[in-house]
Homo-oligomer: A and B are copies of this chain.
């Protein structure tokens, strides 16, 4: 019972803020130096943390030793399920991608998806064997409404996959023999950004994803917002224009009905009269200088900027991160986003830092791995640690 509640916070700090001296850990966590020493010890004994190499570059006094996460102490698999393929990554304990794989889907029904998912996980488990490191958790990210609290990791409703009440964690756990964490995809990506990306150390930020849909992950008071009914961050269905185009949700002028890939493709087709059917074609046309197409992108940028303005006015986050596949067209969006945001942001909320970050699908899968790491840390720091030699099979 060398358990320490402070263990989790110490580990998390070291994980996201790279190697730190114990004194720095004390400063960041607000714990005393003594408490840090006591919290670090069992984590090092368990093999999750290691000392050095390198030293805190002090001129005077006893040199500090750096504490870092032993990236190779445990591996994790993260999986992102999209409409037509599954992307999986193998990460180390620092959530760095060590291997990646993807497979196309032949259907969206759970019976079609799960064999592919299992196959990918098996592939990455073999990779992990090559490294000689045990995989200690599997994170799965799916779009839609996920009940994180339920033990079976229930996917309550995923419109994109047309799933209802699928106990995904239970099924995947049985199939793979791994402890499974299931999360909404945008929230998983948000967790990854909060721990390892542009949201590190921030008490509040928003992650806006632009692509096939428009999503938004929100962190408030240092925690990801889940919504009382499982729905939150539905930026795509925030309406910004009562006279805008109709959205499949039944409303008009949703951001998604203006700025998501399908909306852009349709608008470009209508405006230019050309048989454009994919985002790539639409983008090509705009890049080639087609006025109509460029205007469609500009309008989409405006819509995104206005939507971000709404988020910022409501929540006043420290930062907004814009990402998603749609970022490929960011040069075409940029002016619209900037202008509309500047017009919409009220008062000091305009000081909010707006940045872009390209996050490919592998990054979403990495987000899923991050949620797996998160729950692994929770169990590892609250249970009696065991050495890495002792443990080999399924964790917990």
Instruction: Tell me the A residues contacting B by CB distance below 8 Å.
Output: 145, 157, 159, 203-204, 216, 218, 220-221, 223, 225-235, 237-243, 249-251, 302, 306, 309-311, 313-318, 343-344, 346-349, 351-352
Give complex CA distance A34, B182 in Å. 37
What 8 pairs across the A-B complex have the smallest Cβ distances? Answer: A227-B316, A237-B346, A232-B316, A228-B318, A229-B348, A234-B313, A231-B349, A220-B220
Give Cα A348–Cα B314 distance, bound, in whole angstroms. 21
Q: Which residues on the B side are within 8 Å of A348 (C-beta)?
A: 145, 157, 229-231
Residues of B within 8 A of A230 (CB): 316, 348
Determine if A314 and B235 form an interchain contact, defined as CB atoms under 8 angstroms apart: yes
Q: Given A232-B349, A234-B349, A239-B306, 5 more contacts at CB 8 Å?
A: A159-B347, A220-B220, A221-B221, A225-B316, A235-B314
A225-B220, A240-B240, A351-B229 are known contacts. Are A234 and B346 too (CB-CB below 8 A)?
Answer: yes
Is A346's CB under 8 angstroms from B249's CB? yes
Whether A232 pairs with B315 at a CB distance below 8 angstroms is: yes
**Interface contact A317-B228, CB-CB below 8 Å:** yes
What are 15 A-B interface contacts by the 8 Å CB criterion?
Answer: A157-B348, A220-B220, A221-B223, A227-B315, A227-B317, A228-B318, A229-B347, A229-B352, A230-B348, A231-B313, A231-B346, A234-B314, A241-B241, A251-B346, A314-B314
Q: A352 to chain B: which residues have CB within 8 Å? A: 228-229
When the two chains form their complex, are residues B231 and A347 in contact, meaning their CB atoms are under 8 A apart? yes
Docked CA distance A176–B66 (Å): 52
**Residues A238 and B314 in contact, CB atoms below 8 Å apart:** yes
* Distance (whole angstroms) from the CB of A257 to the closest CB of chain B: 12
C-alpha spacing A316/B227, complex, angstroms: 4
* A384–B103 alpha-carbon span in the complex (Å): 64
Distance between Cα atoms of A225 and B204 in the complex (Å): 10
Q: In the complex the two chains form, what is the Cα distance from A169 to B344 in whole Å?
A: 32
Neighbouring B residues of A220 by C-beta, 8 Å = 220-221, 225
Chain B residues near A315: list those with CB within 8 A: 218, 225, 227, 232, 314-315
Interfacial chain B residues near A238, Cβ < 8 Å: 309-310, 313-314, 344
Give Cα A291 to B166, complex, Å: 52
User: Given known contacts A314-B238, A317-B228, A318-B228, is B347 in contact with A251 (CB within 8 Å)?
Assistant: no
Considering the chains assembled together, what is the distance between the CA atoms of A220 and B302 in angstroms? 28
Residue of B nearest to A256 (CB): B346
Distance (Å) between the CB of A127 and the closest chain B CB?
A: 37
User: In the complex, what's the smallest C-beta–C-beta distance from A353 to chain B, in angstroms?
Assistant: 9
CB distance from A170 to the nearest CB of B (A): 22
Residues of chain B within 8 A (CB-CB) of A313 are 231, 234-235, 237-238
Give which listed residue, B218, B231, B251, contacts A344 with CB less than 8 A. B251
Q: Which residues of B contact A229 (CB under 8 A)?
A: 316, 347-349, 351-352
CA gap between A145 and B351 in the complex, in Å: 14
Q: Specify the chain B residue showing the minimal Cβ separation from A303.
A: B242
Q: A145 — which chain B residues lie within 8 A by C-beta? A: 347-348
Distance from A238 Cβ to chain B, minimum over Cβ atoms (Å): 5
Q: Kindly list chain B residues whose C-beta atoms are within 8 Å of the C-beta of A226.
A: 316
Bound together, the chains give a CA A157 to CA B352 distance in angstroms of: 17
Q: How far is the CA of A317 from the CA of B191 in the complex (A)?
A: 20
Complex Cα distance, B70 from A188, in Å, reads: 46
Is B239 touching A242 in the complex (CB atoms < 8 A)?
A: no
Say yes or no: A216 contacts B349, CB within 8 Å. no
Q: Give chain B nearest CB distance to A146 CB in angstroms.
A: 12
B-chain residues with CB within 8 Å of residue A232 when the two chains form the complex: 314-316, 349
